[in-house]
Amino acid sequence: MFGRLLLMFTLIPLAELYLLIKIGGLIGALPTVLIVIGTGVLGAYLARQQGFHVWRRIQTEMQMGRFPAEDMLDGLLIFAAGVVLITPGVLTDITGILILIPFTRFHIRNWIKRKLQRMMDNGNITFGGFVR
């Protein structure tokens, strides 16, 4: 786990920096900065829109007496998309926007559900409460 985190916190920023430098060299510094700002604004708009939509679905499910598991996972993914969109860079912006698009988020959510199910089936993950 430490190795993955180390790679994530070193390789991703280096890749982002490399891409920003290359793009800046091709189209100039100002257009590159405007692209980063534009994707940030677009991402914030999409995150807000999708977040409100998921919040309404969660409320509806709870009013009907159902546990909104998939909608809560969607909410978590939207939150994660917002976090990566805060980070300036091309790769993180693309990732965040892909997570915010309902069609691609559906596939990402299903992949996460399958992975969690496999982990539970193998006994690698357990869920417990606060009871001793």
Which of the residues in the chain have pLDDT under 50? none
CA distances from 3 to 7, 8, 13, 128 (A): 6, 9, 16, 27
- Give residue 2's pLDDT: 81
In a domain, 33, yes or no: yes
In a domain, 46, yes or no: yes
In a domain, 130, yes or no: no
- Give residue 112's pLDDT: 93
Range of 56's domain?
Answer: 2-122
**Could you give the angle at which helices 2-27 and 29-63 cross, rounded to 10 degrees?**
130
- Give residue 127's pLDDT: 65
In a domain, 9, yes or no: yes
Q: Please tell me the total count of domains within the chain.
A: 1
In a domain, 131, yes or no: no
